[in-house]
Amino acid sequence: MVDHDRFEDGWMGVDFDGTLAQYDGKAGADEMGEPIPLMVMRVRKWIAEGKDVRVFIARVNPDVGDGSEEERKVYVSNCLRAIEGWCLKHLGKILPVTHQKDFQMIESYDDRAVTVERNTGKILTMGREFDDEASDPIGFFLDG
């Protein structure tokens, strides 16, 4: 169950590629996928409720990628402009964009995320099919 009282003091991170917009595994700086309706609907609702929602995307990390530092800066700048345009068109508002989480991030929505129960290491949800017994490498060591 989500504790909605926490939202007053932090922000919600929504991954862009594969969560908010379609993603096929490759994209240039100005290539943004088509919106994923269910997630767009959620984000629009959160915005209407006054929640602090931010786009979370690795493509705007200036320290990763090919080319010189200057080429990476241009890539990130072009990417940011494209994401802002996408947000305005599909969400009705330009959202803050980041590639980093911080202590104020209270939730993260991401197609690659695995939810782990705090302070236990117990896997709660997976982003793909997962057979806990057969696929968990830790179980092998604990059972043996």
State residue 128's pLDDT score: 55
Residue 89 CA to residue 131 CA, distance in Å, equals: 39
115: pLDDT strictly greater than 90 = no
Q: Pairing relation of β-strands 115-116 and 105-109?
A: unpaired
| Per-residue pLDDT tens over the stretch 62-97 | 888 888 999 999 999 999 999 999 999 999 999 999
| Domain spanning 4-111, CATH class | alpha beta
DSSP lists the bridge partners of residue 39 as: none
The two three-digit tokens of residue 88, written as one number: 């305005």
Collect all residues with Cβ–Cβ distance below 8 Å to 28 and sequence separation of at least 6: none
Query: What's the pTM?
Result: 0.78
State residue 28's pLDDT score: 80
- Of 110, 106, 138, 111, residue with least CA distance to 123: 138
State residue 67's pLDDT score: 87
- The string of DSSP codes covering 92-141 is SSPPPEES---TTEEEEE-TT--EE-TTT--EEE-SS---HHHH-HHHHH
Q: What is the mean pLDDT of the chain?
A: 84
Backbone angles phi, psi at 28, to 5 degrees: -85, 180
Q: Which of 54-58, 65-69, 124-128 has the lowest mean pLDDT?
A: 124-128
138: pLDDT strictly greater than 60 = no
Q: Put residue 92 in one of left, alpha, beta given phi > 0 → left and psi -120 to 50 → alpha.
A: left
Residue 35: which pLDDT band, with cuts at 50, 70 and 90? very high
Residue 1: which pLDDT band, with cuts at 50, 70 and 90? very low
135: pLDDT strictly greater than 70 = no
140: pLDDT strictly greater than 50 = no
Q: Where do the CATH 3.40.50 domains begin and end in the chain?
A: 4-111
Strand order in the sheet with 52-56: 97-98, 52-56, 11-15, 105-109
